[in-house]
């Protein structure tokens, strides 16, 4: 692969208040990288970063908060949240944030991460909505992002008959309106590289208006929204964490109904939804959504349109992609009923997904049990309960006329320094759900059984050790695996930080799976595929203004008895929160040598404000980037 030179530009205008500092980005980046390990490539993490940046501007009042509010802090585990409320109940209000040290599971690192986002002082509450205030006292943020790869991408000329029809620019505009967390609105437009400007100026529009905390109406969103409930087996749209070096991320923290602010073009609902509090502790969330999805359709013998899959990429560059755009209409209608207290949450979900065209299964045998037909009804039941030092959680899900999926687990705080996570999962091969984000090894949480066990040990300020092992079985065939198969994954990580200015991290990851042999035989048999990854990372700080990170990552891939492949990546990062007074920025230079896609390496990359990405390194070369930001004044930066 050629080395890429990317140029990014950002223009940010904040009309009323608020600007982001580079320091904030560094913290948020650390948080995201620690919790997100197996994210899809180029995933838009704006939603996550925006939530954190917003909380930084308006910190959570720890003496007047809720489980739902604390769940926004992705790095807090459910057990920590439940321990926190136990502490409040027993000891009354916090007088100092450092009192958190007395709570089980709150190690120094957690508290350090928490401090920017919390306060113990009362926020000003706005009880009455006045039109004048809505217009005058609100915060407005506008971001325009323009990006262009300086070299011409293959797709613009090399693909004969199916080349990209649009222009190479990537353009994004985000507008956010906040009125004291009572009224919010957002508007996003996005055009990917290779997509057309003409006909409609932009390829993707998304927006919504939401009203929060008004009497019985806890939330009301009109426009685009997401729904996340339970452990994600029945109803979870958008982003979710899976297995990661922080073992507590296997437990999903559902945020319920939320306004959608991401530029991902697939994982959201479009319509209206509301969460109403029925009586004490009971909540009711009805929702309706109608939108068009991308699908490649054909005609059946009776002349009806049919399709076998939905295209989720949201890219509309080639004639085929443009032809498939918005061809399939989807109506989703349903409701969620919840009973919530600080220790017990239970909920029931029921909804129907209706398409105007029929799904058929693909010819491949591994696809034999996939969804067919026009409509699907999903039912789910989820729970979580904290008892002393144990947090139990789980979900059972059923798609009517087909399979069942369930998982169940516990997060146990063995001692102040040691926590254990356990999760058993069993997802039927014919369990169907269009909004399924359950914890799993496969990208689709179906056709899988597994047992996960993870351990975090933070014995003191300097050391932290984490370890997990996951054993899984796939009872039915998979893509490139023509027989039931099994495998396991192990990760172990140690971090040592003798001072604030120095940290070293070592990580080892092993993954064993089975896959069809590469040999040309009349009958495929399975061979074991072994992937290993070694990482060494050093973070050091010269002074307040200069921070460095070095990483060496080695990946090994071996299939059956074939020769082992070896790839490696080395990079140097430089980060400066301020230089020449008004400037700040960061830069990376990376050298990589990765023989094939099999031993590919992922690494987190900085991008302009609110935008981070996991880059994939494959091939041989040098990749570098530089981000600079110049602050004109409090309201405007470039």
Partner 1 sequence: MPIKNNFVATSFQGYGFSEFKESKVGFAYAKNFGPRLTLGLKTTYHQLKIAGYGVTTGFSLDAGAYYQLTKELAFGAFAANVSKQNYTNKETSVYIPVSYNIGLSYSPNDKVLVAATINKVLKERVDVGIGIDYQIIPFFGLRGGLTVNPFKQYCGFGLKYKHFTLDMASVFDANLGYSPQMAISYAF
Within 10 A of 166 (CB to CB), how many other CB atoms are there?
19
Nearer of residues 37 and 532 to partner 1, judged by Cβ = 532
- Least spacing, CB of residue 465 vs partner 1, in Å: 9
Query: Which parts of this chain interact with partner 1 (CB under 8 A)?
Result: 412, 414-418, 420, 451, 453, 455, 457, 459, 467, 469, 471, 486, 488, 490, 510, 512
Nearer of residues 358 and 486 to partner 1, judged by Cβ = 486
With b meaning 16 or more CB within 10 Å and e meaning fewer, what string describes 264-276?
bbebbbbbbbbbe
**DSSP string of 58-82?**
S-EETTS--HHHHTTSTTS-HHHHH
- Least spacing, CB of residue 347 vs partner 1, in Å: 29
- Least spacing, CB of residue 326 vs partner 1, in Å: 46
Contact 493, 501 (CB under 8 A): no
- Least spacing, CB of residue 473 vs partner 1, in Å: 8
Structure tokens at 329: 């209409």
Nearer of residues 68 and 511 to partner 1, judged by Cβ = 511
- Least spacing, CB of residue 445 vs partner 1, in Å: 21
CA distance 570 to 58: 38
Within 10 A of 444 (CB to CB), how many other CB atoms are there?
15
Nearer of residues 56 and 486 to partner 1, judged by Cβ = 486
Nearer of residues 274 and 514 to partner 1, judged by Cβ = 514
Within 10 A of 410 (CB to CB), how many other CB atoms are there?
18
**DSSP string of 325-391?**
TT-EEEEEEEEEEEEE-SSEEEEEEEEEEEEEEEE---SSGGGTTS--EEEEEEEEEEEEEEETTEE
- Least spacing, CB of residue 490 vs partner 1, in Å: 6
Contact 139, 16 (CB under 8 A): yes
Structure tokens at 11: 């223009």
Nearer of residues 396 and 409 to partner 1, judged by Cβ = 409
Show the CA angle centred on residue 185, arms to residues 180 and 191, nearest 5°.
Answer: 140
Beta bridge partners of 134: none
Nearer of residues 36 and 458 to partner 1, judged by Cβ = 458
- Give a three-class secondary structure readout of 110-153: HHHHHHHHEECCCCCCCCCCCHHHHHHCCEEEEEEEEEEECCCC
Nearer of residues 418 and 618 to partner 1, judged by Cβ = 418
- Least spacing, CB of residue 446 vs partner 1, in Å: 21
CA distance 359 to 374: 6
Nearer of residues 460 and 543 to partner 1, judged by Cβ = 460
Task: Provide the 8-state DSSP code for 162.
Answer: S
Nearer of residues 357 and 511 to partner 1, judged by Cβ = 511
Nearer of residues 174 and 513 to partner 1, judged by Cβ = 513
Structure tokens at 391: 């947090």
Structure tokens at 97: 């944030």
- Least spacing, CB of residue 451 vs partner 1, in Å: 7
- Least spacing, CB of residue 420 vs partner 1, in Å: 7
- Least spacing, CB of residue 400 vs partner 1, in Å: 34
Helix, strand, coil in percent for the chain, rounding step 5: 15, 50, 35
- Least spacing, CB of residue 455 vs partner 1, in Å: 7
CA distance 261 to 300: 38
């Amino acid at each position: 692969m050629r080395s890429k030179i990317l140029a990014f530009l950002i223009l940010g205008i904040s009309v009323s208040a608020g600007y982001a500092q580079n320091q904030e980005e560094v913290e948020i980046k650390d948080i995201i990288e620690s919790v997100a390990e197996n994210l899809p490539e180029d995933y838009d993490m704006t939603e996550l970063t925006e939530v954190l940046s917003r909380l930084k501007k308006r910190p959570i009042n720890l003496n007047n908060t809720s489980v739902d509010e604390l769940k926004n802090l992705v790095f807090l585990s459910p057990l920590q949240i439940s321990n926190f409320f136990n502490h409040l109940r027993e000891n009354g209000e916090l007088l100092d944030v450092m009192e958190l040290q007395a709570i089980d599971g709150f190690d120094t690192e957690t508290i350090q991460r928490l401090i920017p986002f919390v306060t113990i002082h009362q926020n000003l509450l706005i009880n009455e909505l006045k039109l004048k205030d809505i217009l005058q006292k609100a915060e407005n943020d506008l971001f325009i992002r323009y990006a262009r790869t300086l070299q011409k991408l293959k797709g613009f000329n090399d693909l004969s008959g199916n080349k990209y029809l649009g222009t190479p620019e990537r353009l994004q505009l985000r507008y956010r309106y906040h009125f004291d967390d009572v009224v919010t609105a957002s508007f996003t437009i996005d055009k990917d590289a290779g997509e057309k400007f003409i006909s409609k100026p932009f390829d993707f529009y998304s927006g919504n208006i939401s009203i929060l905390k008004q009497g019985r109406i806890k939330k009301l969103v009109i426009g685009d929204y997401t729904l996340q409930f339970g452990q994600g087996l029945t109803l979870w749209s958008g982003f979710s964490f899976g297995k990661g070096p922080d073992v507590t991320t296997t437990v999903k923290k559902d945020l319920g109904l939320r306004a959608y602010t991401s530029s991902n073009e697939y994982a959201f609902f479009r319509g209206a939804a509301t969460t109403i509090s029925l009586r004490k502790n009971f909540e009711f969330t009805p929702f309706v959504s109608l939108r068009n999805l991308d699908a490649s359709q054909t005609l059946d013998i009776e002349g009806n349109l049919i399709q076998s899959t939905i295209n989720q990429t949201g890219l509309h560059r080639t004639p085929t992609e443009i032809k498939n755009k918005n061809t399939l209409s989807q109506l989703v209608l349903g409701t969620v009923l919840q009973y919530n207290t600080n220790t017990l949450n239970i909920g029931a979900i029921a909804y129907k997904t209706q398409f105007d065209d029929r799904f058929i299964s693909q010819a491949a045998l591994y696809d034999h049990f996939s969804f067919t037909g026009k409509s699907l009804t999903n039912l789910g039941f989820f729970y979580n309960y904290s008892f002393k030092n144990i947090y139990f959680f789980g979900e059972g899900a059923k798609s009517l006329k087909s399979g069942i999926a369930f998982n169940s687990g516990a997060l146990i705080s063995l001692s102040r320094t040691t926590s254990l996570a356990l999760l058993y999962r069993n997802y039927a091969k014919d369990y169907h759900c269009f909004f399924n984000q359950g914890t799993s090894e496969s990208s689709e949480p179906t056709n899988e059984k597994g047992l996960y066990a993870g351990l975090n040990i933070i014995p003191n300020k300097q050391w932290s050790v984490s370890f997990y092992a996951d054993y899984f079985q796939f009872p039915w065939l998979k893509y490139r695996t023509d027989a039931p198969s099994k495998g396991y994954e192990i990760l172990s990580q140690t971090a040592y930080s003798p001072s604030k200015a120095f940290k070293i991290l070592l990580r080892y990851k092993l993954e064993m799976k089975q896959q069809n042999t590469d040999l040309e035989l009349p009958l495929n048999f399975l061979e074991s595929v072994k992937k290993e990854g070694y990482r060494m990372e050093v973070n050091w700080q010269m002074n307040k203004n200069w921070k460095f990170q070095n990483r060496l990552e080695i990946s090994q891939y071996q299939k059956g008895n074939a020769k082992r492949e070896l790839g490696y990546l080395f990079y140097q990062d430089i980060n400066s929160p301020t230089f020449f007074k008004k400037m700040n920025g960061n830069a990376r230079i990376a050298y990589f040598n990765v023989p094939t896609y099999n031993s590919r390496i992922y690494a987190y990359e900085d991008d302009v404000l609110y935008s981070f990405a996991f880059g994939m390194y494959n091939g041989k070369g040098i990749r570098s980037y530089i981000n600079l930001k110049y602050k004109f004044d409090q309201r405007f930066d470039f």
